[in-house]
Copies of this chain bind each other. A is one copy, B any other.
C-alpha cells in the first residue's frame, strides 16, 4: 500500500509523553487505516538525554534543542506535553508560525494564551487542538466544538478537578477530615506535594476559562473567573449538607445571559439527586445546557497517563483527517515556493 509517512515532533517525555509514544507505536497500523498516513515520531525534546524512561526511545531521536524540531521541515505536527507557560508559549507560537499543526495537553498554556495561539494557528492555516487539556478522558472540547457547534450553549457546569473531587468524596463517604483526605490523595498520587493549584480551585478555573471560551466563542480570561477553593470546607460543613440531603462539590460554572458571561469555581451544595452529586472518587463530569440539544452530560476519568495520551492521539487523528492538513501538503508548498 502506498502510504504517506507523517513525521511528528514530541515536546516532553514525561508520563503523558511516554503514553503517547506507547499508543502511537501500538496503533500505527490502525491509525494508518483510519487516515491513510503512517505516523512516525521524528524527534523528542527532553531535558536530560541520559534519564531512564518509561518507554524505549532511540538515543538519536532525543534532543535538548527545541530548534531541532521547530526547524525540521519534515516535522508537520508538534505534540506539546512538556508543560510550562511563558517559554512554552514562545515555542508553540514558533511551531504554528512555521506551519506546523500543534496538539497540546497543557491547560495552563491554553487558558493563559489560547486567544493568541488560536490567532497564530488561523493565520498560518494550521490546527491547534487541546482535548487532553480539559478533563482528560472526557471528550468535552470536541463535543462543544463540533456537536454543539450549531447550537446556543447557555451553561456549562462541571466537576473538572479530580483531586478535589476525591477529597470531598472521602469527606462525604467516610467522614474524613479535610487534612486526612488530602494526605490520602497525596499518598495515592492524586494530589501533588504542593496541592495549592488543585485545592485553591485554580486548576479548575483554568479549565473553566477554556470551556467558557469554546462555549461562548469569545476569549474568557482566567482573571475573569471568580474563584473559591475547598481549603475552608470543614467536616462540619459536609455533615450539615448531608443532614439536609445535600452533597458539597467543587463546581465550575460558566453562564451566558445576553451578552454577560459569568464564570466561577466554588464549593456548592447540590441536592443528592443531582447527577453531578453522584460523580465520586476522582472522576470528572461536565453538564451542558444548550437551546436545541437540551441538557447533556459527559462523565469519565479526568487524568492519568493513558486517558490523556488517548485524547492526544485522538487529536492527532483529527488533524490528519482534517481539511487544513490536506490543504497544506509540504510537497505542494515546495512545488509552488
Binding site for B on A (CB under 8 A): 19, 23, 27, 30-31, 34, 131, 137-139, 142-143, 146-151, 275, 278, 290-301, 304, 306-307, 309-311, 313-314, 316-318, 321-323, 325-327
Contacts and interface: CB of A to CB of B under 8 A. Distances in A.
Contact of A321 (B19, B295, B310, B322): B322
Contact of A275 (B19, B137, B278, B326): B278
A150 B294 contact: no
B318 A146 contact: yes
Contacts of A291: 306
Given A323-B322, A323-B323, A323-B326, A293 B150 contact: no
A216 B171 CA distance: 40
B321 A299 contact: no
A324 to B, nearest CB: 9
A304 B23 CA distance: 39
A227 to B, nearest CB: 28
Contacts of A327: 326
B294 A304 contact: yes
A317 B150 contact: yes
A321 B294 CA distance: 24
Contacts of A290: 310
- A-B pairs, top 6 by smallest CB distance, nearest first, are A296-B300, A150-B313, A139-B147, A292-B310, A292-B306, A297-B299
A312 to B, nearest CB: 9
10 contacts: A27-B150, A34-B149, A142-B147, A149-B317, A150-B316, A150-B317, A293-B300, A293-B310, A298-B298, A323-B323
A310 B146 contact: no
B142 A294 contact: no
Contacts of A131: 147
A147 B314 contact: yes
B300 A149 contact: no
A180 to B, nearest CB: 24
Contact of A150 (B149, B297, B314, B326): B314
Nearest to A312: B150
Given A278-B275, A326-B323, A327-B326, A143 B139 contact: yes
